[in-house]
Structure 1
Amino acid sequence: MGASGLFGGLDVVEKPAVPPAVINEVNHGQPWNVTVVRARLLNELGDLRLQKEGDRWFAIVAEVEVTAPESRNDVGDVLSISGVEGLLDEAPQHIVAVRDASRVQYLNPNMPERIGFVWEQSGNAPLPTKVTITIYEKTYRASTLTDHMEWLDHEPRAQLEVPVEDKRAS
């Protein structure tokens, strides 16, 4: 190990920058394809109730298509956001189908679904005008613990900045 230090073996290796994605274009990958459609602020969202009066909903709408051969129950792993202050949780509080506002728990292969990833934002927080969205991927490989094939290595695969539409009722 001492010899490898002489040849740069102990140097910090920088991860490559996350490639850019484009709004309304499919970002292909495993175990899902993702098309980010929009970001919105809302006062109401079907039968979902805000925890605190005066708060608002922050929603990312994305079309997700499972590319893996089996149904997926890890929809919350598809994307994350940054650049929005005052969210009550880091993860979305609700993940719903846009077509009927039903909770999304499983997605089936080759059946794209338009999904709302929804966070509650404090009414005292500044109104965001843009959001950075990171799309994630996983790798199908043998687990080092069980030696079974699993979807592992939840890693960023693409990133994009999206304008936020204020669709709250006046």
Structure 2
Amino acid sequence: MLESARSRLKAWIVAGVGTAAAIAVAGVLGAFAARHEPLPALAPAGRIETGQWLLRPLKAYATAEKYTYGALLRPGGKALVLELEMTNRTAKSTKDYFDLLQASQKTVDPATKPFIVLTRDSTMSPELHPGMPERMAYIWQLPDGAAVPASFNLTVISKTYKPRDNLYGLPGWFNPTPIGTMTIPVGAGPDGADMQP
């Protein structure tokens, strides 16, 4: 009887020590996992793969024109424009590019979405067809009275393809994740040359 009580007590102590050790290890691993590694810097004149899209930034500039590729600016307002070549790498036409680029908080209000325009005919937010590179313009309106920056920072977002999502069992692109940042020099106007790769 005494022997079985001792063995039970020993088992509880071992289990308690094991549980405490497991909690301590989980806490240490959690602390390491919580550390965020900085995002890689992407070359602004290179090609960038984001899953759905192949991007090639071309040029960035500021404008105070009332209309920029058909997008109407506020009276007296200024905008930052990023022109880039975009190629749809998927099997069907899509306009799933609204959250592809996020401008830094220092430059524009992050709650402000850009106008996105096809430059060749000023079509707003068109569907882009598979495998056909198109020149697009992302147009962010600057806050009133804001100075035009010499450069601006963008975060590039990628999504992952799933043949079946968990909710509807349908294919699609999910889980938007930042894959890198790039700093784009801001030129004087739309007539400047494209960046060289």
Alignment TM-score, normalising by the size of structure 1: 0.85
**Cα deviations across residues 87-116 of structure 1 (Å, max 9, x unaligned)?**
595210x11112222213211111111110
Who is 2:50 aligned against? 29
Please tell me whether residue 74 in structure 1 is matched to residue 96 in structure 2: yes
Contact kept, 8 Å, 2:42 with 2:181, in 1: the verdict is yes
* Cα RMSD, aligned residues only: 2.3
The CA distance in 2 between the partners of 1:28 and 1:161, in whole Å, is 17
The CA distance in 2 between the partners of 1:27 and 1:119, in whole Å, is 21
Contact kept, 8 Å, 2:83 with 2:136, in 1: the verdict is yes
Please, which runs of 5 or more residues in structure 2 have no aligned partner? 1-18, 191-197
Who is 2:77 aligned against? 55
Q: How many residues align?
A: 166
Please tell me whether residue 11 in structure 1 is matched to residue 31 in structure 2: yes
Contact kept, 8 Å, 1:130 with 1:161, in 2: the verdict is yes
More helix by share: 2
Alignment TM-score, normalising by the size of structure 2: 0.74
Please, which runs of 5 or more residues in structure 1 have no aligned partner? none
SS at match of 1:70: coil
1:40 to 61, 69, 82: 61
Who is 1:143 aligned against? 165
Q: Based on CA coordinates, which of the two structures has the bigger radius of gyration? A: 2
Q: Could you list the runs of 4 or more consecutive aligned residues of structure 1 that deviate by over 6 angstroms after TM superposition?
A: none
The CA distance in 1 between the partners of 2:20 and 2:138, in whole Å, is 49
Give the C-alpha shift of residue 123 in structure 1: 4.2
More strand by share: 1
The CA distance in 1 between the partners of 2:87 and 2:167, in whole Å, is 29
SS at match of 2:72: coil
SS at match of 1:77: coil
Please tell me whether residue 111 in structure 1 is matched to residue 132 in structure 2: yes
Contact kept, 8 Å, 1:54 with 1:122, in 2: the verdict is no
Identity across the alignment (%): 22
